[in-house]
Amino acid sequence: MTAAEQPRQSARGPRRAVAAADRTRQPTEVRRRLIVEAAVPLIAERGYTSVGVRDVAAAAGVSVGTVTYHFGSVQEILSEAMVLHIERYYAALHEAAEHATSGAEALGLLVDALFTEDTDRHWRMWFDYWTAGEQAADEGFARGQAERYQAWHRQIRELAERGVADGEFSCGDLDGFTVRFAALADGLALQRLRQAPPLSTEEARRHLNRLIERELFPRPSA
């Protein structure tokens, strides 16, 4: 460095330190997301209780120390992973239903999407999520779980309500229908996973469609 250059550098003054929050915010969010994304298939394959910090670190391609730096516990990782999967799953269902031309078509698409040969993974994770909620001491986890149940019920009710508004359905108890639809879907999913007694995807769909026909479609007057 020449003598002429030295004054110009000193005139600018020393570089200011970047605040830790500003320096790490983006990388931290990206790294946390990477870890959570890596945990989703692990839970689907092994189950919530069989996945540890080392498993997640290996899947994410990071060190165990990196994982523990970003998350306080393995439960925190797995909870976020299950929430991510569940939100994606029901967002896709909602999007498909929104493109339907009628409430009846939307509910039919919902039933078809709930039971396919590829949805067993989702239902396995959903029941793991139930179990985790019963065991979790974190109030935030329980609150988030309750919000997801409410969102699921709201989605079902809105589709039925749409059919009623369009004159396709006749129902004096939409709240009751919503509860029964959600309960039957959960029960059928559990039976489907356990296969005791055996239940095919077609049979599961048929049971839900019968509920819709019995409770929503107008009956001819006597």
- d(CA 98, CA 138) in angstroms, rounded, equals 34
User: What does the pLDDT read at residue 141?
Assistant: 72
How is domain 19-216 classified at the architecture level of CATH?
Orthogonal Bundle (1.10)
- d(CA 169, CA 163) in angstroms, rounded, equals 5
User: What does the pLDDT read at residue 12?
Assistant: 40
- d(CA 29, CA 22) in angstroms, rounded, equals 12
Q: Which of 128, 99, 129, 127 is nearest to 113 (CA)?
A: 99
Q: Mean pLDDT in the chain?
A: 82
- d(CA 222, CA 214) in angstroms, rounded, equals 16
The model's pTM is 0.74
Q: Left if phi > 0, otherwise alpha if psi is -120 to 50, otherwise beta: which for 140?
A: alpha
In the predicted structure, residue 41 carries a pLDDT above the cut 60: yes
In the predicted structure, residue 7 carries a pLDDT above the cut 70: no
- d(CA 88, CA 192) in angstroms, rounded, equals 22
- d(CA 12, CA 113) in angstroms, rounded, equals 63
Cβ atoms of 156 and 181 closer than 8 Å: yes
pLDDT tens by residue, 125-181: 888 877 776 666 667 777 878 888 898 999 999 999 999 998 999 999 999 999 999
In the predicted structure, residue 67 carries a pLDDT above the cut 70: yes
Cβ burial of 193 (10 Å; 0-12, 13-18, 19+) is middle
pLDDT tens by residue, 69-118: 999 888 888 888 888 888 888 888 788 788 888 889 999 999 998 998 88
Local confidence band at 198 (pLDDT 50, 70, 90 cut-offs): very high
Local confidence band at 8 (pLDDT 50, 70, 90 cut-offs): very low
Local confidence band at 38 (pLDDT 50, 70, 90 cut-offs): very high
Residue 147 DSSP symbol = H
Spell out a b/e string for 59-70, using b for 16 or more CB atoms within 10 Å of the CB, else e.
bbebeeeebeeb
- Rounded to 5 degrees, what are φ and ψ at 33? -65, -40
